[in-house]
Amino acid sequence: MAYEAAQNRYSDMQYRTCGRSGLKLPALSLGLWHNFGDTTPLATQREILRTAFDLGITHFDLANNYGPPYGSAETNFGRLIKEDFRPYRDELVISTKAGWDMWPGPYGQGGGSRKYVLASLDQSLQRMGLDYVDIFYSHRFDAETPLEETAAALASAVQQGKALYVGISSYSAGKTRDMAQLLNDYKVPLLIHQPAYNMLNRWVEGELLDTLGELGTGCIAFTPLAQGLLTSKYLQGVPFDARVNKPGGDSLAQSHLSGENLEHVRKLDAIAQRRGQSLAQMALAWVLRDARVTSALIGASRAEQVRENVGALQQLAFSDDELAEIDRYATE
Ligand code: NDP
């Protein structure tokens, strides 16, 4: 049946301005790294995306190599755009990235060369059936390519109308500063940085967030749930359909599920319960507690996870005691 978005889709979501730009992002965004390749039924993918958009999640994040196989998440997303979301294109912020290995030979192995970055963007647009993406990222810093070349390629993407904004992912604070300065020569602002950030991985705190604040660059935190570890899902054993048991699930190492880690997760779960929310909701609220974090970029294997996660917005505030207690059980 033709999709009609929920009338009240903007009633509960919060939107935060991305750095010093005019663009607002939802406090929760949805990433298509897992669960949108050819191994997940299209009906499941459709339900997750519809649920997200109906709850005010206006930002979907992709990359050239999301799948499996590589490229398939963009192809499947393109089909769902065509079938469901075409009338809503101007209500959506769609991003993609280039940086990791993608196609055979010296020009598809990732990095930041002009040759790879711009060819990859063209391929992504074709797979998704889009004229432009809202945000195009350099997915990783490439020490083998002069940063000037990557900056010029990102600026070209904007000048050619193939991307409205550009971002970088997982760059250090120093390289972020360098990139912002290089882009400045083209009058292209560095809109956003996409780093890993969650209670168990706090590398952004300190230098990177300070740099982003100074530069006026937004921050979208990926793996805010530590790929599912910061939810209650592993507390009663490993569910058969959990990420660790799926193709590509080795990104979440079994070793993370050690008895000691799970004991800490249990303690965190108890704190969340006292706050009247689930552990997933508390983990998301925790990432969003710093105003410089524009959005928490979640993944989901089913629609009900999206619904639960959006519930985080009901209780974002923390007392100092709660934060201190969280630090006791969740450190890097
Ligand atoms: P999360 O940390 O949000 O983990 C998502 C996973 O956690 C889900 O797939 C699901 O796992 C589980 N989960 C989510 N909600 C719940 C819930 N309420 N209860 C129980 N389990 C839950 O993020 P991801 O690791 O998926 O990454 C999110 C996005 O970040 C990616 O899609 C991508 O867009 C981006 N990213 C970017 C990277 C980069 O280099 N720039 C690297 C990695 C991610 P399960 O399948 O087990 O149900």
Helix (H) or strand (E) holding 8: none
- ipTM at complex level: 0.99
What's the pLDDT at 256? Answer: 79
Check pLDDT > 70 for residue 25. Answer: yes
What's the pLDDT at 332? Answer: 66
24-26 and 15-17: which strand pairing? Answer: antiparallel
Q: What is the mean pLDDT of residues 128-147?
A: 98
Residue nearest to atom 7 of ligand 1 (CA): 228
pLDDT in tens, 71-121: 999 999 999 999 999 999 999 999 999 999 999 999 999 999 999 999 999
**Distance between CA atoms of 101 and 94, rounded to whole angstroms?**
21
Check pLDDT > 90 for residue 222. Answer: yes
pLDDT in tens, 12-23: 999 999 999 999
pLDDT in tens, 290-327: 999 999 999 999 999 999 999 999 999 999 999 999 99
Q: What spacing in Å lies between the alpha carbon of 167 and ligand 1's midpoint?
A: 20
Report residues whose beta carbon is within 6 angstroms of any ligand 1 atom: 31-35, 61, 139, 169-170, 194, 222-228, 231, 233, 242-243, 280, 297-301, 305, 308-309
What's the pLDDT at 236? Answer: 85
Which atom from ligand 1 is nearest to the alpha carbon of 299?
Answer: 26
User: Ramachandran region of residue 41, left (φ > 0), alpha (ψ -120 to 50) or beta?
Assistant: beta
Helix (H) or strand (E) holding 153: helix 147-159
pLDDT in tens, 232-245: 999 888 888 888 88
